[in-house]
A and B are shown apart, each in its own frame.
Chain A
Amino acid sequence: MIVALLVAGAGGVGAVARFVLDGLIRSRIASIVPAGTLVINISGSLLLGFVTGLVLVGAEPADFRIILGTGFLGGYTTFSTAMIETVRLLQQRRWVAAGVNGIVMLLLGLGAAVLGVFLGTLF
């Protein structure tokens, strides 16, 4: 129960962090591929990899991963927005931009997660 409340609070903070950061990036970078979601999802994957690496080597307890990982970073990153933004690009027949937003974001996110897990296991 306590964990669920902490996950909710952390998720709310993560969602606000995403909302504000996305707004800041959008007001500064006008690009066809939405840069805000890209930056958020890649940085979030790096951080979750790092947190997971820390827990894997026993440096932090599992609840640490649940609240920070499932809660904050889960609330921070978003799959649904990335998908809808890709759909909108496809609707506009911006095939390359849609491919970048779909495939390249996933590859960069996976690369960031690999790096994060590696860095986390160094501790």
Chain B
Amino acid sequence: MRNSPLHTRPAAVLLVFVGGAGGTVSRYLLGLAIPQLNGFPLPTFLVNVVGAFALGLLLEGLLRGGNDVGWRQRVRLLLGPGFLGGFTTYSSLCVETVLLTESGRYFTGGGYAVASLLLGVAAGAAGVWVAANVFEVPEVQPGAAHSIVTSTQVLHLAQPATLTQDPPGGWIDPDAAQLDDAARGSGRADGDGDGDVEGGIR
């Protein structure tokens, strides 16, 4: 049971449901409160950019505090794929852009799509950066067995597959992953800082 994929565990699915319901209704209510800006879909735009920042902050903050297990994992499921996944929306972005361009407002539609993508990536990166630098969340738990994990490898474990879902074949323990790296002699355990890790974790 412990090793079953997250998406097959009822407790995990329930957390995502509760968070998703809360995030979706928050977006709906903000959409009623925030006015459109001269046809520009300001509500979706703001929700998406703020949500991208919050997700970067959340995931990097949780990750730097420890492994994705226990309460940490429950918070991630509730707020990550749950609340922020439901809060932000990709389909509205695409359809609103299409409706703008089909009504002849090419500049507004194009600007909306491009600005969403650029500011979305920038906001997500800013969230990750803030969690990593401003809050000075400890990278690893002091005294923990994996306390020699470098910042490179923390980022390594931050790959989306491990953030949002168990990897194929179940969870891979970071300690085991290190042994794995060492066994491969990949030379990537030296924290060369390029974030380009070749290990088997996905």
Contact = CB atoms under 8 A, between A and B. Distances in A.
Interface in B54-82: 54-56, 59, 80-82
Interface residues of A, number: 66
A50 to B, nearest CB: 10
Contact of B93 (A11, A12, A79): A79
B94 A76 contact: no
27 contacts: A12-B20, A14-B24, A14-B86, A15-B23, A15-B81, A15-B86, A23-B6, A26-B168, A41-B94, A44-B90, A45-B90, A47-B91, A48-B95, A70-B92, A77-B92, A79-B52, A79-B93, A80-B48, A80-B55, A81-B81, A81-B84, A84-B55, A84-B56, A84-B160, A92-B155, A92-B159, A93-B196
Contact of A11 (B21, B56, B91, B95): B21
A66 interface: yes
A57 interface: no
Contacts of A15: 16-17, 19-21, 23-24, 81-82, 85-86
Contacts of A48: 91-92, 94-95
A73 interface: yes
Interface of B: 5-8, 12-13, 16-25, 27-29, 31, 48, 51-52, 54-56, 59, 80-82, 84-95, 97-99, 102, 113, 116-117, 120-121, 123-125, 127-128, 155, 158-161, 163-168, 194-197, 202
B116 to A, nearest CB: 7
Given A27-B5, A80-B52, A83-B121, A13 B17 contact: yes
B165 A23 contact: yes
Given A7-B28, A23-B8, A88-B160, A80 B91 contact: no
A106 interface: yes
Nearest to B5: A23
Interface string A1-18: 000110111111111101
Nearest to B24: A11
Nearest to A66: B28
Contacts, number: 240
Given A75-B86, A81-B164, A90-B125, 9 more contacts: A8-B22, A11-B24, A15-B17, A16-B16, A23-B166, A49-B98, A74-B92, A84-B56, A84-B163
Interface of A: 4-5, 7-16, 18-20, 22-24, 26-28, 30, 34, 36-37, 41, 44-45, 47-49, 52, 66, 69-71, 73-88, 90-93, 102-103, 106, 109-110, 112-114, 116-117
Contact of A10 (B24, B91, B159): B24
Nearest to B28: A7
A79 B88 contact: yes
A8 B21 contact: yes
The 10 closest A-B pairs by CB, nearest first: A11-B24, A15-B20, A23-B7, A12-B21, A79-B88, A48-B91, A8-B25, A77-B90, A83-B124, A45-B94
